[in-house]
Structure formats: structure tokens, C-alpha cells
Structure 1
């Protein structure tokens, strides 16, 4: 985590219980240094400041899409909002947002209302308006290459043929160096074979057996907009709880060893080896 030291009169004004329409930003002095979170609030007239995070969940607006596979990004934002007491009551840049904090770190929770293929319009505009650096833009979205209910947190990646991620990257000048929290949803019956295969065999099996693809002749678009079965729903609910804790740890501590352990635990959460 990188912090800035600045004169107390030039700080971002922020309180968790106050949900203002924007971060009040004032001019910073030019000196920026790394500081420990354990530093006192004021050191010779200087105040510790935290770089804000933008946590954006991808999905489609409207009751029609509520609870579908393609909307788990929205569900994660709703769960974080509930757990951290962040009220989602502001509309800005074609996006429903909430301003609050996780611990002492200011966060901006966002649910773009542009539909999935154009969500980059909102994310890019918010990142520019609030001057959030790439390393603090956390994108939360569904991932068909992961088993249902399995999470993956990584500092950067490509778009993986996800139209929403493509749109976000396009509105961030083609950059890919921003964190992602992926939520898996591929078909459950194939999970039991994955730990028995070598990585090469598993990849081939995915290609020929259709792991991560719609059942039968169903089109991918229709499958994405389906709701979960009762068992899948239980797994997703557990994943959302784990995801809130993962986001909390990332915001407070950055990508440390606990994130690596989290990813490893998620990888084998249904296959104890």
C-alpha cells in the first residue's frame, strides 16, 4: 500500500458515516513518500493519506438480469456495500456508485448501468474524475474458465474474451495493469475430473468436453443470462462472503502472501489434495 504525506490543510476530506457526492479534493504538495499505516495521524503538521480505491462490479441493469451468471459482479458490489455500510445512492457517469471506506481507506463502489458491453464508459470516466491510479481499480466480474463458486484475485490480466473487460480496457487507454476479482461459474459435473489430469490433459479435456461452455446446443448468450441452480446458488453465496474478505484484505494490505494463499485455497476448494 502506498500512502502520501501532505500538509493537513490539503487532505482528502472523508468520513465513513458521511456519504457526500464526491471526494473533496484539494491541492497536494509535491512531496510523496512511502509511509507505514502505523504512523500517527499527524507528524509535525503532516497528515497520512490513503490512495482511494475504485471497486467496479460488472453486470447488466434491471430485474431481468438479477441473479444471472453474468451479474455476479453486481452481486459482489452489493455484498461489499452491505458489509461495509456503503450506501449506493449516487448516479454519476452512467453508473450507480457509493462512497465509503474499508477500514481507514476510502473506496468508491460502482455498478455501471450501461449494460455489459459498454461498461468501460463508466469505469474510465470515474477513474479519471476521482484520479484513481490503475493499481487501485479493482474490476469484479464473472469468469467462465473457473469452476462455479471459485474466486481468483490477480494484479493484472487480459480480457479473456469477456466483453465487459474489453470495454474497460479500451477506456483505460488499452492498459491491463489493474487488479481483478474473477468469480467462476462453469458447469459443476466436470469439476470432479480436473484434479486427476495433468495441466495439458485438463486443457484438452476442456476443449473437447465443453467445460465452461453451454450445455447441449444452447447459445453462450442465453447461458450467461440463466440463473443458478440451487446447489450453484449456495456455492456462489459462499463465494461472495469469501470475496468480501478478499477485497477487504487487498484494500488494506495490497497483494501480499495472504492473497497467494487465498488463490491457492480457492483453486482446491472443491478438491482437497
Structure 2
């Protein structure tokens, strides 16, 4: 059913499909942690907003598909390979649907900005993020795919960054992340209707001012 429906989309859709990939780790052990789950949460929130069922396994990912307003096909994936091997799922998904990399958007955590801030980019490096390293590797070194950075804040004081990443959000940070995810869903809907360039310009400007407001607030 997936193959037949997907071919139909390619024949009739006014524009190419998008593939949204959320990076994370599978299993209850990682739910709610800073590094390992926010990409999955963004996928789930967008899927819920569009009534897309994440009930298929495809290319080592929990997978869903739907059609956005305007007849734009959207594929959603949560790789089940563990974070450091995310490309083993993302690369084959892009190849399976014959998507140019400018129609692939990866959601991932970022520690370089205050918790609740988001950034949308059309390309970039890996920033020492092992999930992104794997995706780039499986795209044969090509970095021309889009990213939605979900900022989780910096570790306080002299705290080990690895320990910080593996912690669950406290109540305050959890509320901020929940708000950020809903803002991200709105940005994704705008992207599908207006395109990446226009969406990134307006969205990142709004997030810049939010960054200033939140940069001095504690996250742990």
C-alpha cells in the first residue's frame, strides 16, 4: 500500500515530497532526555497535528506519511538505529523516495543556545553531533540537507556536557521544550506552504528575539 500510494503522490503532487527525520534513541530509557528524544518528540507532535499515523517500520525507522494542504506529500521518520547510526535509516529513506537533499529536513537537539530557542537552516555541518555525522556520512559527505535545531540549553557550571545531555528535563525546561515543539510544528506547516527560504527568514528572526529573552534563565 505504501509503494502504490507513494507513486501516486509523485505523479500528481504539485511539488516534491518532504522527508522529515527526527533524531533520537528508541526505548523508554531515553524518553524525556535532552539529547536522545527531542527529535522524536517533534516528529510525534507534527504527526499528531496532521493526523498522520506513525505505525509502519520502513528503512529501520518508525514511519508515517500523509498529504499536507496543497497536496504536498510528507514522509515522517524516527530512526530506530540509535543516535550515532541515524544515517543508516536516513540515507536509505532519501534514496528510496529519490529525494534531493533540499527536500530532507532533520530535527536534532542543540546545546549552543538557550532552552526553548529553535533555528531553521537549509544546510550546515555536524557541530560534533554524532547523529548528524552519521547522516552526512550516509549522504556521501553531502551537507546540503535542512536542519531544525531544537536548543536544549548549556550545562550549568562545570557540569560534564555528556551527563547534562543524558539527563531528563526538569519541570521548567520541560515546559519550555513543550512550547518550543509547538512553535516548531507551526514553522513546519509554514515551510510546507511557503517554502524553506521564506519560513527560515521570518522564523529565525522571531527566535532571535526569544533567544535574548531566555538566555539568562536557568535550565536545570
Q: Report the TM-score when normalising by structure 2.
A: 0.89
Whole-angstrom distance in 2 between the partners of 1:252 and 1:102: 9
Question: Following superposition, which runs of at least 4 residues in structure 1 exceed 4 angstroms of deviation?
Answer: none
The yes-or-no answer on 1:96 pairing with 2:62 is yes
Unaligned runs of 5+ in 2: 214-220
| Higher RCO, 1 vs 2 (CA within 8 Å, ≥6 residues apart) | 2
Equivalent position SS for 2:59 = coil
Does 2:25 align with 1:25?
A: no
Measure how far apart 1:184 and its partner are: 0.4
Partner Cα separation in structure 1 for residue 15 and residue 32 of structure 2: 34
Using the TM superposition, give the Cα deviation of residue 219 of structure 1 relative to its aligned residue in structure 2, in angstroms: 3.2
Give the helix-richer structure, 1 or 2.
2
1:1-273 pair list within 5 angstroms: 20-22=1-3, 23-25=5-7, 49-70=14-35, 71-103=37-69, 104-186=71-153, 212-213=154-155, 215-216=157-158, 218-271=159-212
Tell me how far 1:260 sits from its aligned partner. Answer: 1.1
Instruction: For residues 219-271 of structure 1, give each alpha carbon's deviation from its aligned partner in whole angstroms, at most 9, with x where no partner exists.
Output: 33322111111111111111001000111111222124343121011111153
Find the structure with the greater CA-based Rg: 1
Residue 90 of structure 1 and its aligned partner are, at CA, apart by 0.6
Whole-angstrom CA distance in 1 between matches of 2:141 and 2:78: 21
Secondary structure class of the residue paired with 2:63: strand
Output the aligned Cα RMSD: 1.8
Asked if the contact 2:13–2:73 (Cα under 8 Å) also holds between the matched residues in 1, the reply is: no
- SS of 1:145's equivalent in the other structure is coil
Is 1:21–1:90's contact at 8 Å kept on the other side of the alignment? no
Question: What SS does structure 2 have at the residue aligned with 1:249?
Answer: helix
- Rounded to whole Å, the distance in 1 between the matches of 2:186 and 2:13 is 24
Measured in 2, the distance between the counterparts of 1:185 and 1:170 equals 25
Describe the superposition over 1:112-141 as per-residue Cα deviations: whole angstroms up to 9, x where unpaired: 000000010000001001111100000000
For residues 176-198 of structure 1, the C-alpha deviation after alignment (integer angstroms, 9 at most, x for no partner) is 11110000011xxxxxxxxxxxx
Question: How far, CA to CA, are the matches of 1:89 and 1:256 in structure 2?
Answer: 31
How many residues get paired?
209
